[in-house]
Amino acid sequence: MPNQQNSELSVLTVPAFNDNYLWVIHDGQHAAVVDPGDAGPIRDALSQHGLTLTAILLTHHHADHIGGVPSLLAHTQVPVFGPRYDGIEGITQALGEGERITVPGLALELEVLDVPGHTLGHIAYVRRTPGAHWLFCGDTLFAGGCGRLFEGTPAQMADSLAKLAALPDDTLVYCAHEYTVSNLRFAQAVEPDNHGVALRMRDATAKRGTRLPTVPSTIGLERGTNPFLRYTEPGIVKSLVDAGRLKSGASPVDAFAALREWKNVF
Ligand SMILES: [Zn+2]
CB distance 80 to 103 below 8 Å: no
Helix (H) or strand (E) holding 124: strand 123-129
- What is d(CA 103, CA 93) in angstroms, rounded to the nearest whole number? 11
Percent of the chain beyond pLDDT 90?
A: 97
* Strand-strand pairing, 141-142 and 145-146: antiparallel
Task: Report residues near ion ligand 1: CB below 5 Å.
Answer: 62, 139
Residue 170 known to be catalytic: no
35: nearest Cα among 80, 66, 10:
66
Q: How far apart are the first and last CA of the chain?
A: 31
Q: Which domain holds residue 193?
A: 3-265
Alpha-carbon gap, residue 82 to 87, rounded angstroms: 10
**Residue 75: per-residue pLDDT:** 82
To the nearest 10 degrees (0 to 180), the angle between helices 234-242 and 180-190 is: 80
Flag whether pLDDT at 4 surpasses 80: no
Kind of pairing between the strands at 172-175 and 145-146:
unpaired
- What CATH number should be reported for the domain holding residue 131? 3.60.15.10
| Per-residue model confidence (pLDDT) at position 7 | 45
Distance 21 CA to ligand 1 centre (A): 12
Q: What is the pLDDT of residues 232-266, one digit of tens each?
A: 999 999 999 999 999 999 999 999 999 999 999 99
- What's the gap in Å between 38 CA and the centre of ligand 1? 14
| pLDDT for 2 beyond 90 | no
pLDDT in tens, 202-241: 999 999 999 999 999 999 999 999 999 999 999 999 999 9
What's the domain count of the chain? 1
Q: Cα(248) to centroid of ligand 1, in Å?
A: 32
pTM score of the predicted model: 0.96
Strand-pairing partners, residue 80, are 56
pLDDT value of residue 139? 98
Give CA–CA dist 36/42, Å, rounded: 7
Query: 60 catalytic, yes or no?
Result: yes
